[in-house]
Amino acid sequence: MDPIILGIAVVNGVIVGGLYGAIALGLSLIFGVMRVINFAHGSFLMLGLFIPFWLWKLFGVNPYLAAVVAAPALFGIGYLIQATIIAPLFKRERAMVLEPLSVLLLTAGVGIMLDNLALMTVGPDFRGITMEFAAKALWIGTVLNINYTRLIAFLVSLAITVAMSLFLARTDLGRAIRSTAQNRDAAALCGINVPRVYNITFGLGCAILGIVGCVMIPFYLVSPAVGLAFGIRSFIVVVLGGIGSIPGSILGGLILGVVESVTAQFVTATSASIFSFVIFILVLFFRPTGLMGMKV
Amino acid sequence: MTTQTRSHRALRYAVPAVVLVLFLLVPTLVRGEYYLHVLVGVMFFAYMASAWNIVCGYTGQLSLGHSALCGIGGYLSTLLFINLGLTPWVGMFIGAFCAMVVGVFVGYPCFRLRGPYFALTTIAFAEILRIWVENTEEILGIELRGAQGLSVPLKGHSPGLFQFDGKVAYYYIIIGMLLAVMAVTFWMERSRIGFYLKAIRGDQDAAEALGINSTRYLLSAMALSSFLTALGGSFYAQYFRYINPERNMGLDLSIEFALMGIVGGQGTVLGPVLGAFLLTPAGEISRATLGGKFPGLHLVIYGLVLVLAVLFLPKGLIQPIRQFLGRGAAGRAGGKSAAA
Amino acid sequence: MRRMLFVIGLSVVALVLSSGLALAGEKVDEVKIGGVLSLSGMAANQGTQTKTGAIIAADEINAKGGIPALGGAKIKLFFGDSQSKPDVGASETERIIQRENVSVLFGAYQSAVTTVTTEVAERYKTPWLVTGSVADIITQRGFKYTFRPNNKAIYDAREQLDAIKGLTQETGKGPKSIGILVEGTDWGKSHATNLRKLAKDMGYEIVLDEAYSPGTMDFSAQILKIKSRKPEALVIAMYTPDHIVFTKQTYEGKLDIPFGIHSVGAGSEDPNFYKAVPVQAVEYMFVQEDFQIDITEVADWTKPIDKKFREMLGYELTSYGAQGYSAIYTIYDVLQRAGSVDKEKIREAFTKTNIVSGPALIMGWQKIAFDQDGQNLDAHGVISQNLKGKRTSIWPLANRPKGIKPVWPIPAWKDR
């Protein structure tokens, strides 16, 4: 295998992997803090892609600027859904430890509703945006080219990761979230309003998707069904990187991206996805906390 | 110390008996193949949810990979039929046996994981199988046809080959299978296995500390569940006469089985059946009335039903029904209590 | 005792309720036609387009006074959503046949779904007109009630290779090697299988044979492989989302394929694809269209249909819309000859179909007739090339408008 080809494959894998990591970030956060497997994750991504699209379509707003609208909007939607639909489940369980099954089903139901409400309102069409800038690429040599918008998405993904890590480490709210993740009852005893922390966490997880959607829409597309493709992949990333670990999410994404990209050079891409699952299973068996995760 | 009086006991037997008789009489009472078709669908899902329930309801683990077992059953019985002319009546048991082996083989490492990790692993295994089948045109000279799926050769009305004109025969067969799986569940609940599973479900570590070999019992339940699920897969293949990896080994199907088991009430004999009886017609009716006119609306309603069921019927549909029938407190525990 | 009665009563009520109310008796001045299509899920796009085309046709016919041979009976359409799943499609077929008492059905786009639904229709002795499904097996089972006016999968592959060969003969230059890149489910992989068979016979070397998973976000790996294997022509089979990403990336990466990219439809037949990619990205791309894409320029009578379609969906008539339109007019022709809503008479009339003119030929075929397996042997697609932002028919020669010259070989990116 030509080392140049291999090198290019790795670079491409890294670029796309960073984005996988950012997409999975919210999932990891929500699971790490609340033990909620959010099956509606893909649906929130769909919303995160639709908002910049419509802002561009109706008002000509640059998708990168749309993040100013998308992130708070998605934060609000996530907060609302957590506070009204998922929170009752917490209240019901005495030990405040959720049956994984119930919450999984609940979020699955929410996801189905979101996807199909979108279908009903805007129809099934696939839509994308066209930007002059979007088609330009950074060329290194004559063979390696990195599309600018994907590069930006990669850098933004890194930036979000760093920002989240700092937020969790340095701010009061961040500390509150972390302590709730470690031990909910102890946190409550320290005076932390646990339900509010949950709402905020869920909102944050979704807000990240708002930003991600804005950097994705220039090179990707959106439709009511777009979330489905990201569901399983996000889980693989989260498990690989470690549940609840922010840097782990990026790491997991990078690994997945590179593995997909490199194996696709050797075998056909459909078979390559089996590799991803095999790695997934191996990690689950031999290091279930993932590469950087906290003990569950 | 039972508080059941003689009339309670009579009720316990009479009610199911009457309901059963009614269902058995449906083909004679009602004309309309579509209606029968819906019922076959309901019974099929009730059967599959019950088979799923045997391992998941009683162990508290969430398997989202059961469609793979269904697919193994369907594919094996169909392949044996196409290539060797072996009647699916025999082929389905061979398929079930293979599925059982696969189930145990996969379950062994999986049961070391708990909660969501277990669920994710089952998804991964099922997806690996599905993707592999999708990408394989033929293996060892046998045509698998990959993503295009297999069509069961049409032989007209041939009971010996598990093919019938009309739906009535299928209806009775699936009712029979459903009764069988309910009986198996009932027996298992009361046997030693059921007893140990309850302990394991409550607290696996504590159970092991007491000397219960949890692996053995978990795997037994898995073997049973896999076997029965695969039989259902063969039934599907014979009823629809077409199977493909996307539908029959896909995540959607696994989720449907799990959904019905949980919404109905896992860890009980009747729960999954009730779940299927609620969700399948709900899906059918909303799609029939709305699907053609307002695309997507019926699925919104389906999602809503799901959300409401989880929020307001935490132990499943079975709980309010049980309370109504007066079995509330005095009834068997039957794994009804949600594990901590 | 009371409780037992209650439970029995409840069961009876449940049984009765779920059987629903019986329909009122059949109206004699109506012809009921059922359509089972993917109206939700990944293929909702195409299903909706077919539904729209059918509605336009039915409205036209009804406005002109219905079906003369049936005393002016109006067409009434009943639609079912297959959700892109075979068993759901089967359920919907059962329902529409049983509860709505339709005389004929059409659908269902996805081959997996149509394979199952046509079998249901066969068992109920109800004629089924296939729309959009290309799997060969659909008309290879000896069914008497299945009729397919459109291509078999193998025709698509054959047409693409025939066009390549034809252009080679026309200009004296052509590719010796071919690359294949398909989506990894049913449709893509069977297309690849067909291509492999035919390419070998026609003397082309296959230097790349790839399948990718649906939902791929990034084709850099595949494009890298293409650049290293250097096929002289590339055949692709992609649905809309993948096609959008792939085409954008070939444009960014300035992928040069001397004798062009040949897309076998689906994504490249979806107007949304063209809205989402820059126009330079699709220049010179060949598309195997299921219908003659520029028919609205060539045939004036199609213009009002295109207009109506745009009103209803917001974009121009697509091949799926035309399929729906054609299906209804084909059924109209059949009903005229059957003179009855009896399913057997309709089936008979189907077998004798011989349409050589009229609205049913909106697809660009020259004829609709069904052989003993129910296949229209005159079905064919039309290969277009994207010239100056317009998809222009260039193959077969009978469909190439006067004065059009295809661009062959394709200029490299630096020369454009």
B147–C80: do the CB atoms touch at under 8 Å?
Answer: no
Tell the residue number behind the tokens 């061979």, with chain if given: B94
pLDDT at A264 over 70: yes
Q: Which residues of A touch B121 (CB under 8 A)?
A: 281, 284-285
Q: What pLDDT does C15 receive?
A: 56
Closest Cβ opposite residue C252 in set A16, A119, A135: A135
Per-residue pLDDT of B55-81, as tens digits, reads 888 887 888 899 999 999 999 999 999
Task: Name the residue with higher pLDDT: A98 or C105.
Answer: C105
pTM of this structure: 0.83
Q: What pLDDT does B340 receive?
A: 32
pLDDT tier, B329 (very low <50, low <70, confident <90, very high otherwise): very low
Q: Return the number of other C-beta atoms located less than 10 Å from residue B335's C-beta.
A: 23
CATH number of C30-151+298-363: 3.40.50.2300
> For an interface test with A, which of B300, B301, B313, B337 has the most A Cβ atoms less than 10 Å from its Cβ?
B300
Per-residue pLDDT of A17-70, as tens digits, reads 999 999 999 999 998 888 888 889 999 999 999 999 999 999 988 999 999 999
C212–A268: do the CB atoms touch at under 8 Å?
Answer: yes
Which C residues in the span 270-299 are in contact with B, Cβ-Cβ below 8 Å? none
Q: What pLDDT does A230 receive?
A: 83
CA A288 – CA A295 distance, rounded (Å):
9
Per-residue pLDDT of B148-177, as tens digits, reads 788 888 887 888 888 888 788 899 999 999
pLDDT at A95 over 70: no
Per-residue pLDDT of A104-134, as tens digits, reads 788 988 999 999 899 888 888 888 888 877 7
How far A164 CA sits from the closest chain B CA (Å)? Answer: 24
pLDDT at B30 over 80: no
Cβ of residue C119 closer than 8 Å to a chain B Cβ: yes
Q: What pLDDT does C347 receive?
A: 94
Q: Return the number of other C-beta atoms located less than 10 Å from residue B21's C-beta.
A: 11
Q: What pLDDT does C364 receive?
A: 84
Which B residues in the span 309-338 are in contact with C, Cβ-Cβ below 8 Å? 324-326
Mean pLDDT of all residues in B213-226: 89
Residues of chain A with pLDDT > 90, as a percent, come to: 41
| ipTM (interface pTM) | 0.84
B131–A37: do the CB atoms touch at under 8 Å?
Answer: no
> For an interface test with B, which of A34, A35, A112 has the most B Cβ atoms less than 10 Å from its Cβ?
A112
CATH class of segment(s) A3-122+149-286:
mainly alpha
How far C141 CA sits from the closest chain B CA (Å)? Answer: 9
Mean of all residue pLDDT scores within chain A? 86
pLDDT in tens, chain C (416 residues): 666 666 666 666 655 554 443 333 334 589 999 999 998 877 788 899 999 999 999 999 999 999 998 888 999 999 999 988 888 999 999 999 988 999 999 999 988 899 999 999 998 999 999 998 988 889 988 899 999 999 888 889 999 999 999 999 999 999 999 999 998 877 888 899 899 999 999 999 999 999 888 778 889 888 988 988 999 999 999 988 899 999 999 998 889 999 999 999 888 988 889 988 889 999 999 999 888 888 888 888 999 999 999 999 988 899 999 999 999 999 999 999 998 899 999 999 999 999 998 899 888 888 999 999 999 998 888 999 999 888 999 998 888 888 888 999 999 988 88
Mean pLDDT of all residues in B286-300: 78
Q: Which residues of A touch B283 (CB under 8 A)?
A: none
> For an interface test with A, which of C50, C224, C320 has the most A Cβ atoms less than 10 Å from its Cβ?
C224
Cβ of residue A142 closer than 8 Å to a chain C Cβ: no
**Residue C383, beta-bridge partner list:** C288, C395
Domain locations in chain C?
A: 30-151+298-363, 154-289+381-415
Q: What pLDDT does A93 receive?
A: 63
> For an interface test with B, which of A91, A92, A101 has the most B Cβ atoms less than 10 Å from its Cβ?
A101
Cβ contact B295:A119 at 8 Å: yes
Q: What pLDDT does B337 receive?
A: 36
Tell the residue number behind the tokens 């009747």, with chain if given: B270
B244–C112: do the CB atoms touch at under 8 Å?
Answer: yes
Q: What pLDDT does C206 receive?
A: 94
Task: Name the residue with higher pLDDT: C111 or A76.
Answer: A76
Cβ of residue C90 closer than 8 Å to a chain B Cβ: yes
8-state DSSP, C175: -
Q: Phi/psi at A17 (nearest 5 deg)?
A: -65, -35
Q: Which residues of A touch B278 (CB under 8 A)?
A: none
pLDDT at A236 over 80: yes
8-state DSSP, C160: H
C154-289+381-415 is classed in which CATH architecture? 3-Layer(aba) Sandwich (3.40)
User: Can you state the percent helix, strand and coil of chain C, rounding each to 5?
Assistant: 50, 20, 35
Q: What pLDDT does C260 receive?
A: 93
Identify the closest residue of chain A to B115 by CA–CA distance: A100
Q: What pLDDT does C8 receive?
A: 67
Fold of B6-324: ABC transporter involved in vitamin B12 uptake, BtuC (1.10.3470)
Which A residues in the span 49-108 are in contact with B, Cβ-Cβ below 8 Å? 85, 88-89, 92-93, 95, 97, 99-102, 104-106, 108
A124–C213: do the CB atoms touch at under 8 Å?
Answer: no
Cβ contact C273:C267 at 8 Å: yes
A285–B109: do the CB atoms touch at under 8 Å?
Answer: yes
Cβ of residue A273 closer than 8 Å to a chain C Cβ: yes
Tell the residue number behind the tokens 């090179």, with chain if given: A219
B306–A280: do the CB atoms touch at under 8 Å?
Answer: no
User: Can you state the percent helix, strand and coil of chain B, rounding each to 5?
Assistant: 75, 5, 25
